[in-house]
Amino acid sequence: MNSDDKRLAALRRLLAEAHQKLGLKLGFKLWDGSHVPAGWPEGGITIALRDPGVVSALIRKPKLDTLLNLHITDRISLLNGSIFDLAGARPEGKVGRLARTIPKGAVFDVVRRFIFAPGAAPSSVEHLKGDEIARDGAPATNKANIAYHYDVSNAFYRLFLDEEMVYTCAYFTEDHGDLERAQRDKLDMICRKLRLKPGDRFLDIGCGWGALVCHAAQHYGVEAHGVTLAEEQLALAREKVARLGLEDKVTLHLKDFTLMEGEFDKISSIGMFEHVGIANHPTYFKAVNRLLRPRGLYLHHCISRRAKKTDKAFNKMPAEYRALVRYIFPGGELDHLGMSIANLERNGFEVHDVEGWREHYQRTTRLWWERLEARKAEAEAEIGPERTRMWLLYLAGCSLAFERGGAMVNQTLVSKRRKGASGLPLTRGDLYQPD
């Protein structure tokens, strides 16, 4: 038996032990075409290892970043299933405790045979990474961070978004899977929460492809302003405004919103705040306060993490979170709900409503994943196979995070604080039982 055969034999033994001890509901396929367990069905959910360098890389650098790198470059792939199936196949019980039952001799045998084994190292995916620490809040930095994510390609986003190109959490008024309907309902809920009315000057911070400002102008008669740093989004949004004949009602601005001038009756920020960075929160909220008229309403919609027992514990960046800002949202940083509320109150706002939309975003990201998976070949032609695999993993991971409560999303309605009546209705019946 030569050295290559001995490596394969050692790996098969270890994977067989892991399969038995952990009670795995999936199999493995190795680069020589063999399966572990040996009788694992061809149609069963399977993790494929494409070359021996995969094992060597994971031994030398056993980190999530290594695993993501190998998946993005298709050296580890999932056959006959999705990441949702993989999550469903997770072993019952404590994985760490079960793993300790695997014979140490089997582990050591694989380590010693693969750690110096020949084989390709993980391919560089530096071209897919953003700058995870670019959070100085400068307009140029903000623009670069936004361009990394949102200027991927308008054609790419069309593959999985709804017809209005809304790239934020949808709102499901009942149990259904109609993304177009859910996004229309979301746009209308935002307008109702802000009590938009004809003549209001309305500002949407991070206006994306213009769906909200156009909806507000068409259906609520407002003078709508949208501001963005994403040039490709802006170009498509301006085309939409012209197509709908809304040039006299909708104005779009390409600039950092902190440089905006004027006063607005209502302001929204829907899924933009995650890009700001915690150190820049005071600047952000002061700018919103400056732009909002007294007793004006502001809707703060953002993704957050759960608060921890201490700020020190909260500020630690888990591996999954670090990967998110490295590959998807450079410069991004999530706060917790209590931090948002405290910052709003410290910066001159009165909090009126907080509504959790976690399960709405779980549904939204799952539908996005399904739509992108169905058009995977088109996505690969548009942005390349590596970035497509990265996005599919991102959308599925987000859906699972929202499902399990690892990530949250909240809508917080506030007014610019003044003494006396807020001007809001005494109940919220108008939101959930509109005429």
pLDDT 10s digits, 357-414:
999 999 999 999 999 999 999 999 998 999 899 899 989 999 999 999 989 999 999 9
Q: Does residue 132 fall inside a structural domain?
A: no
Q: Are 257 and 389 in a shared domain?
A: yes
**Taking Cα atoms as reference points, which of 142, 79, 65, 154 lies closest to residue 390?**
65
> What are the Cα distances from residue 325, in Å, to 187, 313, 322, 400, 409?
27, 18, 5, 17, 17
Q: Are 88 and 156 in a shared domain?
A: no
Q: What is the pLDDT of residue 138?
A: 59
Of 65, 97, 124, the residue at which a domain comes to its end is 124
Mark residue 138 as left, alpha or beta (left: phi above 0; alpha: psi -120 to 50; beta: remaining).
Answer: beta
Euclidean distance between CA atoms 222 and 2, whole angstroms: 76
Q: Are 425 and 282 in a shared domain?
A: yes
Global pTM?
A: 0.91
The letter for the amino acid at 45 is I
Residues of the chain with pLDDT under 50: 127-134
Number of domains into which the chain is organized: 2
Q: What is the pLDDT of residue 349?
A: 97
Beta bridge partners of 269: 205, 300
Q: Are 284 and 351 in a shared domain?
A: yes
Q: Does residue 134 fall inside a structural domain?
A: no
Q: Does residue 116 fall inside a structural domain?
A: yes
Q: Are 100 and 183 in a shared domain?
A: no
Q: What is the pLDDT of residue 137?
A: 53
Q: Does residue 51 fall inside a structural domain?
A: yes
Q: Does residue 129 fall inside a structural domain?
A: no
- Residues annotated catalytic, as ranges: 398
Of 95, 124, 153, the residue at which a domain comes to its end is 124
Q: Does residue 131 fall inside a structural domain?
A: no
Q: What is the pLDDT of residue 131?
A: 47
Q: What's the CATH number where 412 sits?
A: 3.40.50.150
Q: Does residue 133 fall inside a structural domain?
A: no
Q: Are 244 and 285 in a shared domain?
A: yes
CA 76 centroid distance within chain: 23
282 is in which domain, residue-wise?
Answer: 139-432
Please, are residues 162 and 212 in contact by the beta-carbon 8 Å criterion? Answer: no
Q: What is the pLDDT of residue 4?
A: 84
Q: What is the pLDDT of residue 115?
A: 87
Q: Are 354 and 265 in a shared domain?
A: yes
Q: Are 85 and 149 in a shared domain?
A: no
Q: What is the pLDDT of residue 305?
A: 92
Q: Does residue 417 fall inside a structural domain?
A: yes
Q: Are 180 and 300 in a shared domain?
A: yes
Of 124, 155, 189, the residue at which a domain comes to its end is 124
Please, are residues 410 and 294 in contact by the beta-carbon 8 Å criterion? Answer: no
Q: What is the pLDDT of residue 55?
A: 94
Q: Are 169 and 48 in a shared domain?
A: no
